[in-house]
């Protein structure tokens, strides 16, 4: 059965109709690693320099006749952090055999990069519960355990440092990265790892921008209203038309100097013209520690 590439579009009830025109990427039949995957990735990005994203993981999933991809972040030699909606259909050990992880890749089809097997997938226990009946998911976070520890190599494969809650929501410069086309209206990946700069924004500013795009009436000066739509467990980022879109799910939002992992890409709004929504990593440090010891 054909399955949609693992990504999610932000579908707040007031915006469903406006999002109806979004392009949905799909995979194609072929080898799990070498097949052309018809997905969208970093919109208006630039090719990444060697050593600039040694923490990024490419997660490739075999869905019978289809393939899907997600991003992820290496947080220890044996653990990758990603979005729950990327892997929530791979719950049994047999299903987990269909997931492969590539680390240290600048080229999607680099034959020197060995795909790694997965031992376990841990989805947040509260994933899938919506906020006030809307369809913006919280707890969209998961851990993927590699069967064997990855070989850490400086500037090639490295572990990302997790944010401790000190990263400001107000225009902290960040970097997003992933594979795929540079235009949001095309649906095939590029071979190069792409990157783009973006900036954090407060949840109030994020809601104001959504308001501007949709003309929906709500009170962004009301803290309760803001928290209802964009709770504290989420963080927004925005930089005009540079964005993560479909197919980038689970990929990293890395901010500051030195770089720390601030967010896991969960949702996007209005294709590449609106804010991107990330699961806020520091809010889940206890949950991550429970399974990984980090």
**Does some domain include residue 100?**
yes
Retrieve residue 114's tokens. 């060995």
Domain assignment present for residue 202? The answer is yes
Whole-angstrom distance, CA of residue 145 vs CA of residue 182: 30
Residue 104's pLDDT band (cuts 50, 70, 90): very high
Half-sphere exposure of 229 (CA within 13 A, CB side): 27
Give 169-218 pLDDT, tens digit per residue.
999 999 999 875 545 444 456 778 989 999 999 999 998 888 888 766 65
**Closest to 85 in 3D by CA, of 119, 145, 135, 127:** 127
Q: Within a domain: residue 107? A: yes
pLDDT at 11 over 90: no
- Residue-range definition of the domain harbouring residue 165: 13-292
Its pTM stands at 0.82
User: Could you tell me the CATH number of the domain that includes residue 189?
Assistant: 2.40.10.120
Look at the chain and report how many structural domains it folds into. 1
7 part of a folded domain: no
What was the pLDDT predicted at 192? 85
pLDDT, residue 218, reads 58
Look at residue 12 in the predicted model and tell me its pLDDT. Answer: 33
pLDDT over 80 at 226, yes or no: no
pLDDT band at 245 (very low <50, low <70, confident <90, very high): low
pLDDT at site 8: 37
User: Could you tell me if residue 32 is inside a domain?
Assistant: yes
Give residue-wise pLDDT tens across range 12-69: 322 322 222 222 222 222 333 333 332 334 666 788 899 999 999 999 988 766 677 8
Indicate whether 3 belongs to any domain: no
Q: Higher pLDDT residue, 11 or 177?
A: 177
pLDDT at 18 (0 to 100): 28
Q: Quick check: 8 and 85 in contact, CB under 8 A? A: yes
Pairing outcome for strands 173-179 and 252-255 = antiparallel
Average pLDDT, the chain: 78
Strand partners, 237: 200, 276
The answer to the question of residue 112 being in a domain is yes
Q: Supply φ then ψ for residue 199, to 5 degrees.
A: -135, 140
Half-sphere exposure of 54 toward its Cβ, with a 13 Å CA cutoff?
A: 17
Collapsing DSSP to helix, strand or coil, 195 comes out as: strand
Residue 83 belongs to some domain of the structure: yes
CA distance 135 to 245: 17
């Amino acid at each position: 059965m054909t399955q949609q590439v693992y990504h999610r579009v932000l579908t707040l009830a007031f915006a469903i109709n406006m999002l109806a025109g979004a392009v949905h990427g799909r995979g194609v039949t072929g080898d799990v690693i070498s097949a052309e995957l018809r997905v969208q990735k970093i919109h208006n990005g630039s090719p990444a320099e060697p050593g600039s994203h040694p923490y990024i993981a490419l997660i490739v999933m075999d869905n019978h006749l289809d393939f899907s991809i997600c991003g992820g972040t290496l947080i220890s030699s044996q653990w990758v952090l990603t979005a729950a909606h990327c892997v929530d259909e791979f719950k049994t050990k047999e299903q987990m055999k269909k997931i492969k992880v590539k680390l240290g890749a600048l080229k999607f089809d680099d034959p020197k990069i060995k795909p790694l097997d997965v031992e376990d997938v841990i989805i947040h226990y509260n994933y899938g519960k919506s906020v006030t009946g809307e369809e913006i998911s919280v707890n969209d976070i998961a851990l993927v355990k590699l069967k064997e520890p990855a070989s850490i190599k400086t500037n090639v494969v490295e572990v990302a440092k997790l944010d401790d809650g000190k990263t400001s929501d107000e225009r902290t410069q960040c970097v997003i990265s992933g594979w795929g086309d540079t235009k949001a209206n095309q649906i095939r990946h590029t071979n190069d790892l792409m990157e783009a700069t973006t900036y954090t924004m407060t949840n109030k500013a994020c809601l104001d921008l959504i308001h501007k795009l949709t003309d929906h009436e709500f009170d962004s000066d009301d803290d309760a209203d803001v928290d209802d739509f964009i709770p504290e467990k989420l963080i927004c980022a925005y930089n005009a038309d540079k964005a993560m879109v479909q197919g980038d799910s689970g990929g990293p939002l890395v901010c500051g100097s030195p770089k720390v992992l601030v967010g896991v890409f969960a949702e996007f709004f209005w294709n590449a013209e609106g804010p991107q929504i990330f699961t806020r990593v520091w809010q889940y440090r206890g949950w991550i520690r429970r399974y990984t010891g980090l």
